[in-house]
Amino acid sequence: MLGKKTIIEVMIMAAGASRRLGQPKQLLEYKSDTLIRRISKEALKAKVGNITVVTGYDHENMKKEISDLEVNAFYNEEWKEGLGASIRNGIKHILNKQPQTNAILLSMVDQPFVDAAHLKKLADTYDPSRPMIIASAYSGTFGVPVLFDSFYFDALKGLKNEEGGKIIFANYIKDIVEIPFIEGAIDIDEKKDLKALE
For position 96, what pLDDT does the model report? 98
Q: Check which CATH number belongs to the domain holding 56 and give it.
A: 3.90.550.10
User: Does residue 3 lie within any of the structural domains?
Assistant: no
User: Does residue 16 lie within any of the structural domains?
Assistant: yes
Output 163 or 102, whichever has higher pLDDT: 102
Mean pLDDT of the chain: 93
Nearest to 31 by CA among 46, 15, 42: 42
User: Does residue 1 lie within any of the structural domains?
Assistant: no
Q: What are the DSSP calls for 78-108, one per residue?
A: TGGG-HHHHHHHHHHHHHHH-TT--EEEEEE
For position 4, what pLDDT does the model report? 56
By residue count, the chain amounts to 198
User: Does residue 2 lie within any of the structural domains?
Assistant: no
List the domain range (segments joined by +) for residue 190: 8-197
Q: Please give the tally of structural domains in the chain.
A: 1
Whether the bond between 24 and the residue before it is cis, its omega within 30 degrees of 0, is no
Average pLDDT over residues 9-29: 89
Output 151 or 28, whichever has higher pLDDT: 151
Q: How far apart are CA 15 and CA 107, in angstroms?
A: 12
User: Does residue 122 lie within any of the structural domains?
Assistant: yes
